[in-house]
Amino acid sequence: MGLLMHIWLIDDNQALLDLLVSCLDEVNVCPRAFATAQDVIYLSENLAMAPDIIVMDWTLPDLPATHLLDYLVRMYPTARLVVMSGDFSIESRLPYGARFLAKPFRLATFREIVMEIAAAVTEAFPSD
């Protein structure tokens, strides 16, 4: 994988965010962690680099997940989405193409999904 993937991780559980970031150490990604939907919205308006992959928790304390998903799809239509939740019923409400990651999950499973998506993005947009 030649391209550096920009991945946004959104979850209000700081310990989980730290684990997700650390398990991506050996993967060619540049992770950015967010604890709230408002952080994502505020910082997305001030960041020059768009995410290639967005991994978000379905349950956030400050905004319904559907609102944040609508915002992210509108702002970053080419970003690949992964939604984490322990509620299996939300899978049918995800935008087309979004992946569902059931909580609890193994870090190896999370990492495999990220690597699979990153490989697909790299294949779709090869570097010159």
Q: What is the pLDDT of residues 22-76, one digit of tens each?
A: 999 888 889 999 999 999 999 888 887 899 999 999 999 999 999 999 999 999 9
* pLDDT (0 to 100) of residue 2: 55
Q: At what angle do helices 37-44 and 65-75 cross, to 10 degrees?
A: 20
* pLDDT (0 to 100) of residue 111: 95
pLDDT, averaged across the chain? 91
Phi, psi of 81 (to 5 degrees): -110, 140
How many residues appear in the chain? 128
Indicate if the pLDDT at residue 94 is higher than 60: yes
Q: Decide: helix, strand or coil at residue 25.
A: coil
Structure pTM? 0.91
* pLDDT (0 to 100) of residue 1: 45
- The residue that leads in pLDDT, 88 or 2, is 88
* Residue whose tokens read 């962690």: 33
- Comparing C-alpha atoms, which of 5, 78, 8, 3 is closest to residue 36? 8
Give the pair of three-digit tokens for residue 64: 């319904």
Specify the CATH number of the domain 5-124: 3.40.50.2300
Band (pLDDT 50/70/90 cuts) for residue 4 is: confident
The whole-angstrom separation of Cα 117 and Cα 42 is 26
